[in-house]
Structure 1
């Protein structure tokens, strides 16, 4: 077996008296692509810095083959000390690297190289750092949240570039679609140790849930301290994964209803529509337009938003997504056209900048605005510690100062504050930035339960597919088009294929112009596979139960001697027959799906 290019073994590291890594490690071979996943605060970024040689562990071994090149992309690139972006990128080149490739990558990422680093936005700094990491075509790329602050065209370009690269890859990302399309193996960092799955991220979540479910069945063997600290989070992850399947089915139904409404809209007179929509209309924009100087941001847009709609807004950076939100919510006036808002709107906004909080406040004070130890959620008072758990904060963090929270923890805190406020219209501008996968599951579940309306700006394709009922997409030159369904539905209606997962490394090549490739193959999820195995047994039990109940009815004296028993038996028989019909329908639907996938 070929020796790995880089291996970390039995890595231990403690910060401030609390062990962060307790025997973690991984190995990466030539051309191999690993997804490194785990909760925010689990130590993923620290482990990647150890792999890059930037942090020394307390104990353990880092072995890198002699002569290999490694490039590391941090979450927050530092361009200080360089006069231009080009100088920053070229400073990362080796003596035999091609400087022309650095310029080509910068141009492909929308930069000239002449920009002053101190004037770059977060997204531009991320692009410059990506060019620096990619330009030398290293043996190993260590990428920490490379898609943060990138727009969709840049994310898809980066996917294609990495698919064409022969560099080995260790990748941390909250973007499910990005991980699915690039990874060949998955390393899970959990409670200080690592486990490896020799499959890409597409197989990770069901594998993780199986492990967590096995741990739950053996919980009586665990130390009470471990049980108290981890039980709530492990149960939450597993339960949410199961409930999310129901959310997706409900979302499919919503989308079908949405498509039907779109087809019928042209046949309904406006006066009838207004009567039918009384109390349901949230926003009605009619032929609105907005320009800044010579640039058209919105041109002749008409849109009707009804209660319960969840609309995703997508487009490249600079397209005007935030401006469009302002127009639709009435905080910005259009140059022409009208925007009519529904009655009694209560709007809560979570913007990209994340409203500043007093860094001296504790987490509990931030949630209660410094008043007491309860927070009002949905009209009901809850203890702040109970509400914190909903957002995966353990009780001991209640007195943690906000200033020491990680980016992901701050993102969760802002979500907790926003979602606690009374609202019937949520306006979320890039809510998924810095959130880990479990928190994205939580946010998806909450939006699935939310009875109001959602306007969502996001570059997370998987999150859009899971949450929204329609997608408002930028078409260029200030024009926006609404498509029924999520991001993948939009691509289908445009006639564009989705990005495909990479299975093997491809030859090195120069930066290419954006293009699309084929979509990932549908697979049965863990719950679906489990249901296929267990439903036949459940059907047999229900059939036996029905036969036993029918045998009771065969007694002609049952009603005369036991009227209450007769009624109970009749009710039980009706319930069992309904359960049997539902189980048979579910098994048939899953069997048809299995045959379609395997066929």
Structure 2
């Protein structure tokens, strides 16, 4: 079924258009990721599709049987409303019955038996039990409890999860054609929630258009990528890797076309200058064509890259020593006898469920909070760069360039040279025009980028990054990653972005709760694999009560898995698995190439889309079995 047709869409704010004359289609079952630099118009395009904004030109056609549901980054809510009132606000009898039943059966509450009996009878009457189980799953997985809480009392992360729950319940209840639009759905979700959401969206078989910075989530959920770039829209079939390859090829082709246009422009410009004032009709047509050549030759192709050989503040021999550190808030134990000495150039990831104290740990490192007992000794040469979730704290009636110049006029490089504030801004993808924009006019992602820039401009040698990927676009994330890979100082990162963590960290501090922090020697994907393999044994392990403190627990101290020799049958299975995995990977690559070519019909595309999902699932299953068997060899 054809859901959406967009033709010739144009939208401008201020001097230049966000996008110009763009067109695309959405079919039932499509799962599309929208990619662009912050400020390029992603959120504006989503709001136009929802009818919240009107385009300057062009048309948006949506099938009359299709309902558009949107999860925004900041959803509107009534502070006086309860969670149940917000989530079940549709007013439908089934949802009302589920709401009443859920409120009566919340944990810790002793229900009124008469009311409970009436609620159960109402559920029976409306045949609402099947959908109630789905509602329970959504609320439970998103850690939403106490449905009588007021919306105004919730944190930003809780509000995001409640908004997500409402959207998922709405689309699950309607049982009709729905286009689900999601703007950064993984913000404020921990990794287990993100993994559950991936599976849920796949099982529900929804038609989806989303903006996300989480590349693993994008690859797992989406089969098509649309990119807004220089006011145009480009469509790529396949996964994120395929998108990067096809984009690089397109940019090379664009570069060749522009160079050709520039050569022609130079010749035409020379001809124009030689022409006498009285021109013939023939020369008039050539002069008119000159304007088109000039426009093609004027296209800016250069991509700004964050290639800074930073003159980092000198890092001494002593970094940070944490000795027998204890910290608790009431019954919540965050650290219990934590010992650790940071080394030069160390890159540490901090992971754990929401609410276990990761941000408190960072604040103690920074000296913003004090431990209950123990010592935190910081070296005299340490200069912190604290990139926290609060973002910029600045007067928004200030221009971008003024804000940076208030920090310093120039930025020193390691070779002794300097770059000006304006040049530094350009390296962070702020064009000369954007530099004179008021901060209040920047998008959320642009403000985050400016916040990051302001921290690096101070030459820190110990970066503390708390959820740095939230609200940053994929191009900026790639640039940030390249910068951090060459950064010589220490880095500690709290992030739910698995791709970002895998690329940057050497080891992890895993906050397991109860004051226990595990030092895991590897990246996040390796930790998740280890955790899944050892889950049963980890559940039986407990920290001895008799010990006065719990230091960092290295992963090596976890109970070793019992290793046994493989049987002949298992050896044969392992050999066959290696061949099957190689064949599946080759098939996946072949399908990606066919889908990415963009020249196949819908009839051919549909079975390929189904098959690539099956191949990915088989690769996951066979890959896990291969890991199990390879540990025996």
TM-score if structure 2 supplies the norm length? 0.68
Q: Per-residue deviation at 1:409?
A: 0.7
SS of the residue corresponding to residue 426 of structure 1 reads strand
Is 2:189 the counterpart of 1:119? no
Task: Provide the rounded CA distance (Å) in 1 between the counterparts of 2:507 and 2:232.
Answer: 41
Q: Does the 8 Å CA contact 1:93/1:135 hold for their aligned counterparts?
A: no
Q: Does the 8 Å CA contact 2:325/2:338 hold for their aligned counterparts?
A: yes
Q: Does the 8 Å CA contact 2:387/2:464 hold for their aligned counterparts?
A: yes
Q: Does the 8 Å CA contact 1:8/1:61 hold for their aligned counterparts?
A: yes
User: Which of 311, 319, 322 is equivalent to 2:348?
Assistant: 311
Task: Provide the rounded CA distance (Å) in 2 between the counterparts of 1:490 and 1:337.
Answer: 29
Q: Per-residue deviation at 1:347?
A: 1.6
SS of the residue corresponding to residue 231 of structure 1 reads coil
Is 2:76 the counterpart of 1:78? yes
The equivalent residue for 2:436 is 399
Bigger shift: residues 459-468 or 6-15: 6-15
Task: Provide the rounded CA distance (Å) in 2 between the counterparts of 1:16 and 1:300.
Answer: 56
Q: Per-residue deviation at 1:474?
A: 1.4
Q: Per-residue deviation at 1:287?
A: 3.0
Residues 438-477 of structure 1 correspond to what in structure 2 (within 5 A)?
Answer: 438-477=475-514
Q: Does the 8 Å CA contact 1:491/1:497 hold for their aligned counterparts?
A: no
The equivalent residue for 1:163 is 202
Is 2:455 the counterpart of 1:410? no
Q: Does the 8 Å CA contact 1:329/1:341 hold for their aligned counterparts?
A: no
The equivalent residue for 1:332 is 369
The equivalent residue for 2:238 is 199
Task: Provide the rounded CA distance (Å) in 1 between the counterparts of 2:58 and 2:302.
Answer: 31
Residues 462 and 9 of structure 1: CA distance in aligned 2, closer, same or farther (over 3 Å):
same
What is the alpha-carbon root mean square deviation over aligned residues? Answer: 3.2
Q: Does the 8 Å CA contact 1:34/1:187 hold for their aligned counterparts?
A: yes
SS of the residue corresponding to residue 2 of structure 2 reads coil
Task: Provide the rounded CA distance (Å) in 2 between the counterparts of 1:114 and 1:417.
Answer: 42
Q: Per-residue deviation at 1:226?
A: 6.9
The equivalent residue for 2:300 is 230
Q: Deviations over 1:294-326 (max 9, x none)?
A: 220112322232100111111222111111112
The equivalent residue for 1:60 is 58
Q: Does the 8 Å CA contact 2:445/2:472 hold for their aligned counterparts?
A: yes
User: Which of 395, 399, 404 is equivalent to 1:358?
Assistant: 395
The equivalent residue for 2:43 is 45
Q: Does the 8 Å CA contact 1:483/1:489 hold for their aligned counterparts?
A: no
Is 2:230 the counterpart of 1:215? no
Is 2:490 the counterpart of 1:490? no
Task: Provide the rounded CA distance (Å) in 1 between the counterparts of 2:244 and 2:520.
Answer: 29
Can you give the 5+ residue segments of structure 2 that lack an aligned partner in the other structure? 99-131, 263-292, 309-314, 536-580, 590-625, 627-633
Q: Per-residue deviation at 1:70?
A: 2.2
Aligned pairs, how many? Answer: 466
The equivalent residue for 1:5 is 3
Q: Does the 8 Å CA contact 2:506/2:522 hold for their aligned counterparts?
A: yes
Q: Per-residue deviation at 1:13?
A: 1.9
User: Which of 369, 381, 385 is equivalent to 2:422?
Assistant: 385
Residues 556-575 of structure 1 correspond to what in structure 2 (within 5 A)?
Answer: none
Q: Does the 8 Å CA contact 1:35/1:200 hold for their aligned counterparts?
A: no
The equivalent residue for 2:89 is 91
Residues 312 and 224 of structure 1: CA distance in aligned 2, closer, same or farther (over 3 Å):
farther
Q: Deviations over 1:459-495 (max 9, x none)?
A: 1111011111111111122211111232112223334
Q: Deviations over 1:258-288 (max 9, x none)?
A: xxxxxxxxxxxxxxxxxxxx95442232332
Task: Provide the rounded CA distance (Å) in 1 between the counterparts of 2:6 and 2:39.
Answer: 19
Task: Provide the rounded CA distance (Å) in 2 between the counterparts of 1:226 and 1:85.
Answer: 54
SS of the residue corresponding to residue 226 of structure 2 reads strand
Residues 15 and 340 of structure 1: CA distance in aligned 2, closer, same or farther (over 3 Å):
closer
Task: Provide the rounded CA distance (Å) in 1 between the counterparts of 2:448 and 2:438.
Answer: 15
The equivalent residue for 1:555 is none
Q: Does the 8 Å CA contact 2:10/2:21 hold for their aligned counterparts?
A: yes
Q: Deviations over 1:26-73 (max 9, x none)?
A: 322222211111111221111112222222223322222222222111
TM-score if structure 1 supplies the norm length? 0.71
The equivalent residue for 2:164 is 130
SS of the residue corresponding to residue 148 of structure 1 reads coil
Can you give the 5+ residue segments of structure 1 that lack an aligned partner in the other structure? 244-277, 499-518, 527-595
